[in-house]
Structure 1
């Protein structure tokens, strides 16, 4: 909250959704401690981070990127149907994920690989979905990390509804419900969908404990953010009666500090909120995309200079972290990437009939007939070989 008692809006009045001007920041592009002028509400959370905690953030950010590179190679080698890079968005994901309570529920889209790692999810389980070995991969109840949502912005409605459910449990006297809130990750492109606006209305109307975390990576596939919105997403949130906070999404300290502060307020009954993490997708939208056909090379170079991984590395080096740490981390990440690759390739292929298992929750005559046809078709090949 600001000193006047009103909800603090980071970057309030900053209409340009493509710029980091006015966004909350603690580290500059060279990794130097250089807080922006509006960090007062978040300074305590930032200063609570010690070097060892930041080394942990760096480990996960670097691992996320190494696994990203390895997954791209797997797709190019025909081992994945599709790969969705998070290259360049590691700080936004790792910082926000570690600001959450273990009891908070996460609704991802499909690019939140750093968040999945922070929740302890085996990366093989993430890749198995994109390889077609499984529909699910991980346990969404045990991890409180819900399944990937491919349909743009559908997860925002899921999150709003789940948050409304938390309020109902609180009203019914469920003490544990007071320890839980919801965060939903959504991209700038998905914010143009009607579902996102409906979710914001429901969350505000019912004071659902939901934090909308917008990763503004500048492009909805090939559509630039300037074509999607006339103002920043933090400013747009205010139109729904929701406080909006604008952060430098490539600064992991700012991401952690703002998310921690805002999420604590949401969890304690302060109602919904929105954070716009201004970042950049350094890689393609997916492995099916060629960003050179629509991205400006000069703009890309400017964002490469703001890369969140070397930014945090520079800060760690300036604060006593030596070469030995980074070299050991490089070896550990290489070993981890090879382990993920080997275990993924060793997964057994699912039987073709498995495609029918989760179409309907109850038995369905059409599914039963199609399954019988497929089994008879497969059997005919066996009989022909005999």
Structure 2
């Protein structure tokens, strides 16, 4: 009994003593498991990164191969025909290596080694040789130069077309402006002509039955012809020739507008001039001039008729203007003797100054 009791007590004691050791071993073994788990996760992440890098490298290699094929076709179309001799040392350039993504964590586990080796093999397969790289660069530079030249030529053509279009638009605008200005000028001239014609018509209607006919304006005076006392008379010492016995009224234009003459309104101050006008010989004889304030007196002292007093017309003079205006108003000399409105007795009294 004592033996079994001692054995049981010893066993219990050992159990009690071994419990802290197991807990310590378990506690020591637990961190190792966490580290393994983290290492496995890192290895998986590295594998994923390597796979992604491989896929990206393969995709970039395919894209570059397609671009190289397109560039080669474009260069073949643009380049002139060359010799078909191929140099054995120069090989077709491969696509340039694509940059691989660097993994976030460096994994040295045996599982990550095959992925790294595969990526290195892919890079080695797409990397061109030294001679191929220089030839590829030269071709790419030649293609880029041609494209730049074509782009510059297109830009020059577009600029030339734009400048030509701008010049045509400017010419059209100038032509339209000139046509518009010419049209406006013609309209203004036509309107001015219509206004002048209407004014002349109104003046003619107003003076149709008036005693004083407006001749012209000059030097601040308006010249009127006394239609009642201006008439055709036979020229002395001539049986077939007539002359005009004209009375002219000069009214000072102080208001800037012609003074109305209707036979009823008389200006306060004016001048009267008496002329003989020979239409056939273009001569004029001045007889008298008087200044009138209000109503004139019938005591005018005039020169007697003297053939030596006939004056030739000076172009541009007042007498020349009076001659043109008065002969236009009188409308030609009468045809027969005695039709001027004067009898033989009137002629004797007029020119011989003999009263019967």
State the TM-score, normalizing by the size of structure 1: 0.20
Structure with the higher fraction of residues in strand conformation: 2
- The structure, 1 or 2, with the larger RCO (C-alpha pairs under 8 Å, 6+ apart) is 1
**Structure showing greater Rg:** 2
Q: What TM-score, normalized to structure 2? A: 0.21
